[in-house]
Amino acid sequence: MDLLFTLLATVVALGLLVTIHEYGHFWVARRCGVKVLRFSIGFGSALCRWHDKRGTEYVIAAIPLGGYVKMLDEREGEVADEELDQAFNRKDVKQRIAIVAAGPVANFLLAIVAFWIVAVVGVTTLAPVLGPVVDDSAAARAGLQSGLEITHVNGRATRSWHEVNLQLVRRLGETGELEISARPDSSSDSRTYILQLDDWLRGADQPDPIAELGLSPWQPAVAPVVGQLSEDGAAEQAGLQVGDRIVAINGESVSDWVSEVVPAIQASANQPLVMAVEREGRRLSLQLRPDGREVNGELQGFIGAGVAAFEWPEHMVRSISYNPLIAVPVAVRQTWDMTVLTLDSIRKMFTGLVSAKNLSGPITIAKVAGDSAKSGLETFLSFIAYLSISLGVLNLLPVPVLDGGHLVYYFAEWIRGKPVPERIQIWGFQIGLTLILGIMAFAIFNDISRLGG
């Protein structure tokens, strides 16, 4: 059932993104007088097809990993004399630029709409209040302490841990000062703390900026009661059941899930544990061996068990929403910020500041799509916005085969007054196709590696 839900969420997300992208090309092409022969969502065999009164064929194909708009073009076949004025290649260079750019622009507009809906509907989040600060960490040396609420990172307001993390991600691989403003819970005055970065998390495979600084979110005391179990996990195989209260691990009493149970399990990868639990008034002793997985170069244990639901103090929970008018600039600003962050991440990836292992392919996209859909409409819409921005940015990269590559040729034609020689375009296409296929293969390899981990 989970697999079916994940597949459905993936098809909806990718289908929406591809449809909007291709519709951008389609809409502008029609306005420029270009005849559209086919509008296809997906590749491969057609699941269904129909035609409109202008002769355009609409296709929904079996493989939902892309799409295309096929236009009348003399370079792809003979064109009747009476239709030459409707051929793409006969349009002036400004119109061709508009048609090609319309796809990525449509993706940015989709992101704005998605962020606008989220801003109007509102989100419920947790205040970024600090829990324990690791001794001798960058945060501790700067003077940050448990109980402080982070209000700004590098001058940008932060009302949630998500916003804190986004601002920290911007500094990955960098050297210099990081400014964090924080205030005590009972105060309205913030103080600025300076943290020193030196090639911070450069090349890290799965960076965790918050933990790397020595910070952790504040959490209420969490009773060590099992709330969920993974099928065939170490916990289930050992006989642990939902509702069990863990009272001791290897003879040491435990009373908190986060600060005692989790660290004990993580430190015992592939090592035997004796876990004492209370079940229906009886005390039982269970033996289990946590599985191991590598996290940021360290082997950590896990048993496939999750904690039971618990309540957060009311003052720690925030609802953030805007009226429809104010939500417009909020959505535009979010789209702009994520576009800049995406471009900067690509730059850092090419220069080695950010590990290329963070590049994700369709498997990771599918997993995130399913997880975000389970988390609610706001999370799923935010995921669609992020993915739409990534699609828009990647399509604008100056790589032949992509929209950005075509734009490079057309701008060169505009400047030169004549088209780029066909042989150069063919060479560029071959190089660009090889590059894109290589990147896709590497992204899929990363996906499979994550699954293996």
Residues belonging to the active site: 22
Q: Write down the residue that tokens 């229906």 correspond to.
A: 280
Tokens of 365: 């996209």
Angstrom distance (rounded) from CA 418 to CA 293? 57
Burial of 94 by CB count in 10 Å (0-12 exposed, 13-18 middle, 19+ buried)?
exposed
> Which DSSP letter does residue 62 get?
E
Angstrom distance (rounded) from CA 279 to CA 299? 31
Angstrom distance (rounded) from CA 106 to CA 243? 49
Which of 173-190 are b and which e, b meaning 16 or more Cβ less than 10 Å from the residue's Cβ?
Answer: bbeeebebbbeeeeeeeb
Angstrom distance (rounded) from CA 406 to CA 69? 15
What are residue 247's phi and psi, to 5 degrees? Answer: -115, -20
Q: Write down the residue that tokens 């953030």 correspond to.
A: 320
Angstrom distance (rounded) from CA 107 to CA 17? 7
Angstrom distance (rounded) from CA 207 to CA 351? 17
Angstrom distance (rounded) from CA 122 to CA 425? 48
Which of 347-366 are b and which e, b meaning 16 or more Cβ less than 10 Å from the residue's Cβ?
Answer: ebbeeebbbebbbbbebbbb
Q: How far is CA 203 from the centre of its chain?
A: 18
Tokens of 34: 């270009």
Angstrom distance (rounded) from CA 303 to CA 291? 6
Burial of 127 by CB count in 10 Å (0-12 exposed, 13-18 middle, 19+ buried)?
buried
Regarding beta strands 273-279 and 245-249, do their DSSP bridges make them parallel or antiparallel, or are they unpaired?
antiparallel
Angstrom distance (rounded) from CA 143 to CA 129? 15
